[in-house]
Structure 1
Amino acid sequence: MDLLDWHRDRLSARRLAVLVKHLPRDSALNRELHGEAANWSVTDHLLAAAVDHLAAANWMFACVNSDEGDQPDAPTPVPRPEYRDADEDGTEDGEGTGAGPGSPPSATAGGRPPSPSQLAQFFG
């Protein structure tokens, strides 16, 4: 596809917008707009949450089964990519992408981590 076709009136503005909107998550444009967040899928977020919860459970077990002055430090969460809001960078936040209720949470979130309701919907 030649982007000059848009200037030559062989490619409509609507078709160009659809092509850009539906670029893959790992495309160069999405990596430029969203940084490291473009590389994180729903699976990555769920895995990071599972690791954080397991670390918290182990920490709680250690706290309960240790002496009063021997308390371990709280675990640090898995680092996650930062997400910019529409107000910060002037772009839309990904809402209205046309993803329906049956689509994966990453399709509706526009690169943001899944919401609790999306996770609940994913797990049934």
Structure 2
Amino acid sequence: MEADLLRYYGVDLLDYHRGTLSARRVRVLVEHLPRDAALVRELHGETADWGLSEHLLAAVVDELAAGNWLFATANRDEHADPPERPKPVPRPGIETETPAATPAEIAAFFVGGGP
């Protein structure tokens, strides 16, 4: 934390002990440290690398892959093996993905009218 305060704000943590830096200011500065700060990385691990932009880009990649897979599956030769289902982009902090429905489960849903 001390190194982060010096790096990002030019604030010496010893100023707190000298009485020239309030506890409130230390709290505010620490709460607003950027994602690449050592303290943030220590507390949140690799999830600190992922912000909203990274999650949105991963979602776009996943959706494009799913769309391409659906197109390839729908336009394949009737007797050809179906293409392998795309794997989602790995995201930090998410251990496993929810398993997707199989083609048979999807067909049963539409034919049978529900789960």
TM-score range, shorter chain: 0.5 to 0.7
| Unaligned 5+ runs, structure 1 | 84-124
Partner of 2:67: 57
What code does the residue aligned with 1:2 have? D
TM-score by length of 2: 0.65
Is 1:9 aligned to residue 19 of structure 2?
yes
For residues 49-80 of structure 1, what are the alpha-carbon distances to aligned partners after superposition, in whole Å with 9 as ceiling and x for unaligned? 11100000011111112225511121100011
Cα distance in 1 between the residues matched to 2:65 and 2:23? 50
Cα distance in 2 between the residues matched to 1:41 and 1:68? 44
Higher normalized contact order (CA 8 Å, seq sep 6+, divided by chain length): 1
Cα distance in 1 between the residues matched to 2:82 and 2:33? 49
What code does the residue aligned with 2:82 have? Q
| Unaligned 5+ runs, structure 2 | 1-10, 95-115
Q: Please say which structure displays the higher CA radius of gyration.
A: 2
Cα distance in 2 between the residues matched to 1:28 and 1:80? 21
Structure 1 counterpart SS, 2:42: helix
